[in-house]
Amino acid sequence: SDKSSIVSFGEMLIDFVPTVSGVSLAEAPGFLKAPGGAPANVAIAVSRLGSKASFIGKLGDDEFGHMLADILKQNGVSGDGMLFDQGARTALAFVTLRADGEREFMFYRNPSADMLLTPEELNLDLIRSAKVFHYGSISLIVEPCRSAHLKAMEVAKESGALLSYDPNLRLPLWPSADEARKQILSIWDKADIIKVSDVELEFLTGSNKIDDETAMKLWRPNLTLLLITLGEKGSMYYTKYFHGSVDAFHVNTVDTTGAGDSFVGALLCKIVEDPTILENESKLREVLKFANACGAITTTKKGAIPALPTEAEVLALING
Ligand code: ADP
């Protein structure tokens, strides 16, 4: 089988974003459709950089679901693991950044199609073909989606894939903060690669100091690579052998949505190309520079998917 691919499992949905910035959801005069969902963004990021990517997930057999399936296809992401649910509808999110700086979310998921993928419906051959299996659904705690994730992770691991996890914490979706922390950390040990944001680092450790001591609270002996992304401050990395940080690029940021997914997609592409970057610090630093550049470029345009860069755009930023 072709062991060159990155398989990403989770939700794809539509974010409805107010046509006017700085308003509450109730005040919004109208909404723009911004397709996304972190795991789908990662698959598209990988494909846009020229590597083979597949997406596993469920969409509603409705207008929104078909629109999202078309976006995957147009972006060269394999839909071999994608299904349409015959009952539930596509997940939707309404998201705004209010004038007071608070993010406001509202979700349609009662339940949405993505939450209903069962273990029996998984395309196991596709999962077995993965070199890297990435997951980080916002619905990872909900059955049957949770069981499907656990099975997929097990099958991927058995067939030699690296497991990559991004918790994608969206607190409003969880029953409570304690439950979120417990559930996220309960599957921590299974991953080889974990990427968290500075916000997630603080949430999971309870410490607001971003330093090695805090990061080490999230380290586990079986981890290969732990990454912490810091927005305009770049990223930090931890492995068994070395740790450090890599500066961000200065860009004209207009919307940070998707920066983390772009960063992860870039990193996973490079790991598939050359797994030895995980043991070689100078190689890893080069890769993180590339991933930081991807994240930076993604912040220069509105939306996530339209802003994900090609390799040429990344090299143009790196080489000035
Ligand atoms: P997340 O979306 O998970 O919170 P970040 O916002 O930290 O992730 O973004 C991931 C990476 O993208 C960062 O490590 C950084 O390299 C790059 N990035 C994000 N925001 C900016 C920014 N405002 N300026 C430059 N680079 C950025």
CB atoms closer than 10 angstroms to residue 118? 14
253 lines ligand 1 (CB under 6 A): yes
Per the CB < 8 A criterion, the answer to whether 47 and 72 are in contact is no
Q: What is the pLDDT of residues 128-141, one digit of tens each?
A: 999 999 999 988 88
CATH code at position 170: 3.40.1190.20
Say how far apart CA 104 and CA 127 lie, in whole Å. Answer: 35
The answer to the question of residue 79 being in a domain is no
170 lines ligand 1 (CB under 6 A): no
Q: What pLDDT was estimated at residue 4?
A: 56
The answer to the question of residue 273 being in a domain is yes
The answer to the question of residue 93 being in a domain is no
pLDDT at residue 124 greater than cutoff 70? yes
The answer to the question of residue 179 being in a domain is yes
| 102 C-alpha to ligand 1 centroid (Å) | 18
Say how far apart CA 201 and CA 206 lie, in whole Å. Answer: 8
What is the tally of structural domains in the chain?
1
Per DSSP, the three-state class of 7 is: strand
The answer to the question of residue 72 being in a domain is no
| Ligand 1 mutation pick, 103, 138, 232, 318, max ligand atoms within 8 A of CB | 232
Per the CB < 8 A criterion, the answer to whether 305 and 71 are in contact is yes
Q: Is 212 a catalytic residue?
A: no
The answer to the question of residue 147 being in a domain is yes
ipTM of the complex: 0.98
The answer to the question of residue 293 being in a domain is yes
> Stretch 67-84: mean pLDDT, rounded?
97
Q: What is the pTM of this model?
A: 0.96
Which range of residues forms the domain containing residue 229? Answer: 5-11+38-59+115-318
| Ligand 1 mutation pick, 194, 256, 318, max ligand atoms within 8 A of CB | 256
The answer to the question of residue 136 being in a domain is yes
Q: What is the pLDDT of residues 83-101, one digit of tens each?
A: 999 999 999 999 898 888 8
